[in-house]
Amino acid sequence: MRNAILTIILTAVLAVGTTSAFAAAPLNGVYKSSDGDFIEGRETGEWNGGGFLTVGNYLQAFSGEVYPASGTQWKWECPQVVSVNLEADLVFNGFGSKIYSLNYTGGTFGLGGGALPWANGQSYTGSFTTFTEIRTLIFANHVMVGSDSDFSFTGTIDGYPQSCLYGIANGAWLRNTFVGDLDPPDHFPLGGACAGLSRDDQVHLADIRDITLTIGGCTVATEESTWGKVKSLYRD
């Protein structure tokens, strides 16, 4: 009798584990905005640290350039800058470029479901494990007149213990503005959502372009049980 019960329980546990591990896992692959797999988006950089290049700033980026589509295909929410390092200074007499690396910590992401190529019958959320931005600024007469960025990140998808999301993208600074001047027709994530900036606080706005997302190895869900674990539940 005990063996029969054990068999039934084992079958049920393995069935649940298998479903959890495989049926809902995002589909492995390399997905590119430039291939039309998903759309590009926009970023609001929230100046909680006080400036364009300050520790403490947050970032929000949503897919979509046409309101109200923002964030339906992907979202990056609230990675925070923990260090800013000058990598190269090529400015002479107020003209030229500076290259900075910005390291972020924390933050979450969302990947939409539906017809998106990674979707396996559902949408996904997760957390960033690394998030880095290399920002190249251009100066004319000591004034910053442009900035382009390379983003790179890795992340874990909720329910899966290992990092299995990898991404890179370009960013293009558009302008600085104030939270109070942001509104839905601007098509940007509304500033202040990460740490409560007020209307008078400053943000910068940017395009997010040329995104490559790689999903690989999200096949082992955290609730999967090993044979040893199951047996240990029924030891005398």
Partner 1 sequence: MKSVIVGLLVLSASVPALAGPPANGTYKSTDIGGTMLPGRYSELWFGGPLAVNNTLNEQSWNGTLGTEWHWYCPWITGKVLLLNTVNGLGNGQKIWRVTYTGGYCWLSNTGPWGGDQPSYLANINTWVAIVTEQYANFVEVGSVRNHNATATFTEFNQECMTLDITNVEKLGDTVADGPLPANYPVFWDWFVCAPNGNTGEWGDVDSITFVITGCETVAIQERSWGAVKALYQD
Binding residues for partner 1, rule: CB under 8 A, are: 30, 32, 34, 87-88, 90, 95-97, 99, 101, 130, 132, 134, 136-138, 140-141, 145-152, 154, 163-164, 166-172, 174, 207, 209-210, 212, 214, 216-217
**CB-wise, 59 or 197, nearer to partner 1?**
59
Kindly state the smallest distance separating residue 80's Cβ from partner 1, in Å.
Answer: 18
Least distance to partner 1 from the beta carbon of 180, Å?
22
* Nearest approach, Cβ of residue 48 and partner 1 (Å): 24
| CA atoms of 198 and 188, how far apart (whole Å) | 16
| Min separation Cβ 141 and partner 1, Å | 8
Residue 127 contacts residue 156 (beta carbons within 8 Å):
yes
Minimum CB distance to partner 1 smaller for 9 or for 145: 145
The Cα 127–Cα 109 span in angstroms is: 6
Q: How far is the CB of 63 from partner 1 (least distance, A)?
A: 17
Whichever of 133 and 224 has its CB closer to partner 1, that residue is: 133
Cβ proximity to partner 1, 13 vs 138, nearer residue: 138
Closest to partner 1 by CB, 37 or 201: 37
CB nearer to partner 1: pick between 101 and 225: 101
Residue 172 CB, nearest distance to partner 1 (Å)?
4
